[in-house]
Structure 1
Amino acid sequence: MIRTLVALCLALAAGAAQAQAAACGGVVYDDRDRDGMRDATEPGLTGVRVSDGISIATTGRDGRYQLPANGERARFVIKPSGFDVLRAANGLPAFWRRSADGACPDFGLVRASKAPAELDVLVFADTQTKSMTDVDYYARDIVEPLRRAGAGRAHLGMTLGDIVDDHVSLYPAVTEVTTRLGLPWLHVPGNHDVDAGAASDEDALGSFHRHFGPDTFAWEETQADFLMLDDVVTLPGQRPAYVGGLREDQFAFIEAYLATRDPSRLLVVGVHIPFFPVGGESFRTADRERLFAMLTRVPRVLLLSAHGHVQRHVFHDAATGWHGTGPLHEYNVGAACGAFWSGVPNGDGIPDSTMSDGTPNGTARLQVGADGHYRLAWQPAGVDATAGAFTRAMRLHAPRALRRGAYPAWGVYANVWMGTPDMRVEFRVDGGEWKPMKRVEQPDPWLLAENVRDDEAEALRGYDRSPEADASTHLWRGALPTTLAAGLHRVEVRAFDPWQGLQTADTSYRLVDATP
């Protein structure tokens, strides 16, 4: 009997020792002097979550946490609202660590000043630089104008993948430009952020991980929570070489995170590959339905995606596997590089880079109120405002002259950058009655005209010509009247933007008397 008890005690002790060896611990503390090192006067913080991208541990009263020992995975703190993290040497938030010996790191958090009434987030997609020339375009066309305009009023920034165009050696240069904005900046990878020669999806993001940290993580602000996911499954040697989807370890993290967050708060999910299908199963159907089933527990969700170098809004329903109480909004964000830094250069030598759906290159802005309701806006960059009637909200295209009395077969077109399928867009002529414009899915005539100008030019008008115009999902048409008096007529267009309110633009056309 005694021998049995001794054996049992030894077995329990061995099991405890083995369990201890299979785990590592660290501490999250209040970094009061902001030096990144804990001293005796800096207490541990209770209730902060730390993760290895699979499991989530919550700190106890002394600020300590334990995670499974796994030297191959980075550990990161899920930044809680009310706190900031210090910046690393490259200017990015130091919320993650990877140690060679597999030890769990300590994390210092800094108490934030009073939270703003509205969270302001800059959203970049597809900066997609392939050379230092492109990095210069990115700096002068995107970042510097935002900095001069007071981007400091924003509180957070993110890039939704394709940071570079297969040239991961440019990461430091791109980061140096991005961090000029002075904001904590989050990144997810895109299909062009994969290491050359990667033999599998597991080793495709080595460079990304070294520069930006985990590819899947969460970050919380007072007004909203952010779930950032790598949704590019690399398929070396196949065509296509990637597909949208999620890994098992990511599903484990999502499950753990959703179980620990306040479900009443807005959840913003940031990815690269859109969730909606584009030309077949661009995102694995089973993965999308599995994720959407998990998200039905969250009353308020906004999906942000990139990749397409066009701009659109999709409202998911049962047809795409969403079975929530209302439509699930996905904002597919236009590209910062537009049409891959192509088109005719402006006076500063920066390519026009209008996208194939007629959207100017630029950036998005997400603003979230204290109640979790959000507003979205598109900020064009590097567009020649003289090329058609152009505002920050839309561009108009209309013929300059029509024959008076001709059949009214010609129209004014409004490409409304943030247009949704059910948006109300109207026009009027010479201050008359407002009339509805019809939404049409066809190429933007302004870009079609630019294609013709490229075709007719006997020499290149820029390094790369503008893309061929493709059908736009946010284009409206109104037939111009031809029975008015001869002369110039003013056309006004108004769009009822659900987030930014009434948006207007105007142009003109001339009616000319003619005989056969």
Structure 2
Amino acid sequence: MSMRALCLPLLALLLSTGANAPLRAQATAANGSQSPASSAEQQPATVTGIVYLDRNGNGRRDRTEPGLAGVKVSNGRDVVASDAQGRYVLSNDARMTVFVIKPAGYAAPTGANGLPRFWEQIFPKGSPALKYGGIPAGPVPASLDFGLLPAPRPARDAALKMLVFGDPQPKSRTDVDYYDRDIVAPLVGRHDAKLGLSVGDIVSDDLSLYPDMNRVTAKLGVPWLHVAGNHDLDFDAATDEDSLLSFRNVYGPDSYAWEEPQASFIVLDDVVYRPGQKPAYVGGLREEQFEFLRGYLATLPKERRVVIAAHIPFFDPVPGVESFRRADRERLFTLLREHTQVLLISAHTHNQRHYRHGAADGWHGAQPLHEYNVGATCGAFWSGTKDAQGIPDTTMSDGTPNGYAWLTIAADGRYALRYRVARAKDDPAIGLHAPKVLRQGAYPAYGVYANVYMGDTDTRVEYRVDGGEWKPMRRVLQPDPRLLVENIADDAADALRGYDRSPEADISTHLWRGALPTDLAMGEHRVEVRALDRWQGEQRAATTYRLDEAQP
């Protein structure tokens, strides 16, 4: 069905303005004045408005500013396209967030919090009372208009560079300061990203920290998209439907789409809140999200790059434990099956991993479906000993240092991923652990371990000693010894080494081992490791060990 046909029958509701609402959709009557509905009890069955080109960026439609045709607008369920005059019509359920799907070639206005403002709330009676505010009451305007700004047209072969942050998750303003100094400040004025994405757990249960986090993130100066996580919930909400009202009041829709020339991005809330149950949430999707996906995906060419971002992984990190509802995953994969360029991005685990979905997961596409489970910017919840700058080490339980990812998408949809360790000057891709000294002639039972942060099951990892022949390393599923050393140091200490100690080392999916020779001359020996990264090419790291003579 064409978007023009979709526009006529579908109706949807818009949400009233939430916190930080400088980009307000304008409620304009024919003469340009605001004309809200008279009362919550007399709400119209539909909400209508115009998508227009806000040439002067003043946030309201002036008489000379044209409507934009073919722009998609949604209430999180229905997807309609604006007509030749820019007008759209959606159904009004009086408790929904309406948003424009920013099309490629345009920019969304920026709100007072420095984040893109492409949505409006319509809650004429307001939301249930919640600890962190929920969504306040507001009238339904007679015409809910969305202005888009002109954007420079990129070169035909231009690539999109974007920053991807997993789980910032501060539990206090002290942690917000760590996020600022460890992640954001080193990037300010030194990056060339055009878009940013935080993949859930924007905070750690304390939603009053949103303004502080937004102030910091906005320093990066690019449009920033937010995914809802399990620590972004209103835990005093009575239902899953109401569990993200405070999040939505700040960030807008919990499920939406955003378009750039190189790709379409779909953000999904995949945290299903279950008040009073254990566990209190599970990964999954709601029925209206499937309706939104069905309607939106139908508008996209099958060969266009689609990036789906959600907090909880679509795979089950612990085999046999269903953390994402299998039936929902299979429905999602069925909708995506005919799309030839799909990338999944998730977070939540505070580990880093690549996962390839196949038939066992319900994916039946021509090629395995790649999911990148990005490491957390907060690492292991801002834990561990502090460095000279007073920032915790916060290495994750799989041995990955905290940091962030770069995602680059070419004009033809091909993509490349790169992980950047926070504040690391030499941009390490591999962490090494080896014994400092071994006995010359001892049985070669001790090894060098290489944690290849972006390693996959088919990554080729090799090592050599003293410039000799390169030999393959063996992938092992065990904890990273570097973190085990920290665990032992924490156990042995007679006083706290930090506010929170480092996490217990867990099995890493990207760890390799090579046995160290002991039949060499006494003294120091250099160990080099190289890994072939599918996107960055050869990556290297080096360390040393020493052979000493000993008598029984």
Which bin holds the TM-score, normalised by the shorter protein? over 0.9
Distance apart, 1:22 and its partner CA? 2.1
Structure 2 residue identity aligned to 1:66: V
Determine which of 191, 197, 205 is the counterpart of 2:244: 205
* C-alpha distance in structure 1 between counterparts of 2:455 and 2:364, whole Å: 25
Structure 2 residue identity aligned to 1:437: M
Structure 1 counterpart of 2:38: none
Distance apart, 1:382 and its partner CA? 5.0
* CA shift digits 1:454-513 (9 cap, x unpaired): 111111111011001011000000111111111111111100000111100101111112
* CA shift digits 1:43-67 (9 cap, x unpaired): 1111111111111111111111111
SS in 2 for 1:462: coil
Determine which of 94, 100, 125 is the counterpart of 1:71: 94
Structure 2 residue identity aligned to 1:305: S
* Structure 2 residue 401 is the aligned partner of structure 1 residue 401: no
Determine which of 288, 294, 319 is the counterpart of 1:255: 294
Structure 1 counterpart of 2:363: 322
Structure 2 residue identity aligned to 1:129: P
Question: In the TM superposition, what are the counterparts of 1:141-220 in structure 2 within 5 Å?
Answer: 141-148=182-189, 150-151=190-191, 153-220=192-259
Determine which of 51, 55, 58 is the counterpart of 1:35: 58
SS in 2 for 1:88: coil
Distance apart, 1:391 and its partner CA? 5.1
* CA shift digits 1:165-215 (9 cap, x unpaired): 110111111111111101101111101101131111011111101000000
* C-alpha distance in structure 1 between counterparts of 2:315 and 2:330, whole Å: 11
* Structure 2 residue 520 is the aligned partner of structure 1 residue 484: yes
Structure 2 counterpart of 1:7: none
* C-alpha distance in structure 2 between counterparts of 1:334 and 1:307, whole Å: 9
SS in 1 for 2:182: helix
Q: TM-score, normalised by structure 1?
A: 0.93
Structure 1 residue identity aligned to 2:177: D
Determine which of 302, 320, 341 is the counterpart of 1:300: 341
Distance apart, 1:34 and its partner CA? 1.1
Question: In the TM superposition, what are the counterparts of 1:232-381 in structure 2 within 5 Å?
Answer: 232-279=271-318, 280-381=321-422
How much identity, in percent, do the aligned residues show? 60
Q: RMSD across aligned C-alpha pairs, in angstroms?
A: 1.3
Is the 8 Å Cα contact of residues 72 and 102 (structure 1) preserved in structure 2?
A: no
SS in 1 for 2:477: coil
Structure 1 residue identity aligned to 2:111: A
Structure 1 counterpart of 2:169: 128
| Number of residue-to-residue matches in the alignment | 490
* C-alpha distance in structure 2 between counterparts of 1:97 and 1:335, whole Å: 30
* CA shift digits 1:129-180 (9 cap, x unpaired): 11100111110111101115x12x1000011111111101111111111111
Determine which of 494, 510, 513 is the counterpart of 2:546: 510
* CA shift digits 1:105-134 (9 cap, x unpaired): 211111211326110111111111111001
Q: TM-score, normalised by structure 2?
A: 0.87
Is the 8 Å Cα contact of residues 125 and 336 (structure 1) preserved in structure 2?
A: yes
Structure 1 counterpart of 2:482: 446
Structure 2 residue identity aligned to 1:180: K
Determine which of 87, 91, 94 is the counterpart of 2:117: 94
Distance apart, 1:362 and its partner CA? 0.7
* C-alpha distance in structure 2 between counterparts of 1:36 and 1:102, whole Å: 18
Distance apart, 1:40 and its partner CA? 1.1
Is the 8 Å Cα contact of residues 385 and 393 (structure 2) preserved in structure 1?
A: yes
Structure 1 counterpart of 2:530: 494
Structure 2 residue identity aligned to 1:489: H
* C-alpha distance in structure 1 between counterparts of 2:362 and 2:417, whole Å: 25
* Structure 2 residue 462 is the aligned partner of structure 1 residue 421: no
Distance apart, 1:309 and its partner CA? 0.5
Is the 8 Å Cα contact of residues 69 and 102 (structure 1) preserved in structure 2?
A: no
Is the 8 Å Cα contact of residues 75 and 105 (structure 1) preserved in structure 2?
A: no
* C-alpha distance in structure 2 between counterparts of 1:109 and 1:412, whole Å: 55
Which one is further off, 20-29 or 274-283? 20-29
SS in 2 for 1:440: strand
* C-alpha distance in structure 2 between counterparts of 1:75 and 1:115, whole Å: 28
Is the 8 Å Cα contact of residues 362 and 381 (structure 1) preserved in structure 2?
A: yes
Determine which of 133, 137, 142 is the counterpart of 2:178: 137
Is the 8 Å Cα contact of residues 52 and 146 (structure 2) preserved in structure 1?
A: yes
SS in 2 for 1:136: helix
